[in-house]
Chains A and B, each alone.
Chain A
Amino acid sequence: DTGVSQDPRHKITKRGQNVTFRCDPISEHNRLYWYRQTLGQGPEFLTYFQNEAQLEKSRLLSDRFSAERPKGSFSTLEIQRTEQGDSAMYLCASSSTGAGNQPQHFGDGTRLSIL
């Protein structure tokens, strides 16, 4: 079990540029979640997938944000026309679909800095 992996670990970009992050969940997990965490705060939910279906999106997810999970395995999160306020840690988590609530396991995150 290699855990949840995210790439890149750090991304520095100029305002207005587009960025894309990748998340590879634990292999047998079919639920995948994206969260955003700013300094001193808990992770905030952005969106989640069950297999390839995107089942819920937060109001935090503006039209500039889009997420995909085309084959039900890895997922990508794209931010278009980045703004200063997008600077944050973007965390991915995955869980299985066993009976009852299953714990979510997090990746190390991608830290985005907007210049």
Chain B
Amino acid sequence: GENVEQHPSTLSVQEGDSAVIKCTYSDSASNYFPWYKQELGKRPQLIIDIRSNVGEKKDQRIAVTLNKTAKHFSLHITETQPEDSAVYFCAVQETSYDKVIFGPGTSLSVIP
């Protein structure tokens, strides 16, 4: 089955700096890659997603890049703010009706 790895497990950055979180997956058939943000005690919230026919997608301060050949994708957050502090999960989905497999998460702390 699909295996998703995520690094780093914890990340601490100064406010205004950039943060990068990287994920790898094992199943080359996977074709949908969402990223979720989860604040303490709250639901996972979709922040950005990318499909396998796209190499990069950007939404304001958040961007995701995908390398299907190498089977890895990354989340980039620029100009970090304290409210970006949360746990971020990468995820992988094979087909439109398939379950989503989550990575183990990255705890991001943005220091004011």
Contact = CB atoms under 8 A, between A and B. Distances in A.
Contact of B97 (A50, A105, A106): A50
A85 interface: no
A105 B105 CA distance: 18
A45 B101 contact: yes
Contact of A101 (B31, B102, B104): B31
A103 B97 CA distance: 11
Interface string B88-111: 010101011101111111000000
Nearest to B30: A101
A48 B99 CA distance: 8
A48 B97 CA distance: 9
A28 interface: no
A103 B105 contact: no
Interface string B43-54: 111100101000
Interface of A: 4, 31, 33, 40-45, 48, 50, 55-56, 58, 91, 93, 97, 100-109
A44 B103 CA distance: 10
Contacts of B101: 45
B103 A42 contact: yes
Nearest to A43: B102
A48 B93 CA distance: 14
B99 A45 contact: yes
Pick from A43, A102, A109 the residue with the most CB of B within 10 Å. A43
B97 A31 contact: yes
B49 A103 contact: yes
Given A104-B34, A107-B43, 8 more contacts: A43-B89, A97-B97, A100-B51, A100-B96, A101-B49, A101-B95, A108-B42, A108-B43
A14 to B, nearest CB: 24
Contacts of B31: 101
A40 B102 contact: no
